[in-house]
Structure 1
Amino acid sequence: MARVFDRNMFIMLLAIMIGVVIITYFVADIMRRSQIENLIVEHEVEIQEITGRNENFTDHFLQGSIKMDSAREIREVGNYHFDLAILWYDSALSAVNNSTLDMYRGRIVSNCTEAMSSYMESHKRFDESKFFFERAKNYTDNNKYLELLGYYVGFAQSGRNITLLRYNASKYLMFIAENLTLSVFGNESGNENLTLLLDLFNETMDLYDGMINDYNWYSDYIDEYVFFDEIREPH
């Protein structure tokens, strides 16, 4: 009788042990699956974050570049009209009668107006490009990319500076043309308003001449240096 009891106890204990092992295995398997699923979710989130950062960086950089390219082109249009205004102004100084002076005055005013419009639009787009380049910094921690963006921000700021100065110079030149008369030629000091305008124009052009070197440096450096080929990691 005792043997039967011992055998039954043994079988029962063995069954319990097998059950515990099976349950432990299933619990461990469930935990492993849960951990794997959590890792997959974490990796997917990381991938989405990285993809989102890359897309945002690229989007902001491209928008900044497009704005900057258009700003540079529009600035050249402004330069064209400004140079023409200067040419007509030099010609106006040699006018011998009022009809000729009026003709030159009209051309100066017309070209200054066109130049002011172009410079203001260019200034606006340089400002917008600077905004996009600064925002792009939020989507990268790569030192080379941050260095690159620093150059573009500096270039955009330089563009803002010189276009605003040329806008003011165009405005002063237009006012000078409107105050030109045959009687003031060779005696500009006799017209206080004209003298003030000439001083303002010359001061503005001096500031422009001082800042255009920075603009040209940024322009040459950015145009000639292939940033991304140097930065890109080897595959």
Structure 2
Amino acid sequence: MLLKNQIALITGSGRGIGRAIAQLFAKQGAAVFLASRTEKELAAVVQEISEGGGRAEYATADLAQEAACVHVVAAARERFGRIDILVNNAGHYGPVVPIEEYALAEFDRVIAVHLRAAFLLSKLVLAEMYARGSGVILNISSLSAKAAYSWGSAYAAAKAGMLGLTRVTAAEAARKGVRVNAICPGPVRETRMSKELGADLAKRLGISAEQQLAGFLNGLLQGRAQTAEEIARAALFLCSEQSSAIVGQSINVDGGVAFY
């Protein structure tokens, strides 16, 4: 088992990529602490993991709020004693509108739930990791951080900011035993966010959802979307000792779109 006896805090883990990461990490020996806004989804994931012989707990939280970030970290420590791995995955896309129509409150919320939460949670766990001389932080960024797409300014800015945060945190943490990296997923069709985004884009473009999807996938070298399981396997690699010399990197798991 690649994560035997590790404790992982995974945000946005009630569904989609976060759920897949939580399930895979648990299968690989980690005790996982889950956090998102929807208790029903979290409880279902914890039940799935528990029935499979894994260890999992959860706390509901809106991580756009500083107090919620503090609460989640405290709850994870109370239940499992420490945090060895932090996966910053929580987020949502926000409105599909051009910059001139983007409401400031909406922009601030997207930045808060992606970038600000990743900063706050990293800040809250780093002292413990430094004292122990070990730890891993993984930020789930996006292809949107590296490739420009219309009508998603806040999401792109937040995800690009997470890459900057990844590099600076890695630079500060590397010689203290803590590795920090990021993943940039491409489209994951099974997630609610991708489905809703595809429908919104199709409506704005005046085409069918099927046409929108086909056009987007045609831009990927593999010509297909990625799966949550594929993202989870990359996360497992970056959070395990198999990637012990990888620091400050952003790994594209995008089917071949961005090349940097």
Same-fold call, TM cutoff 0.5? no
TM value normalised by structure 2: 0.26
Q: Which has the higher helix share?
A: 1
TM value normalised by structure 1: 0.28
Q: Which has the higher strand share?
A: 2
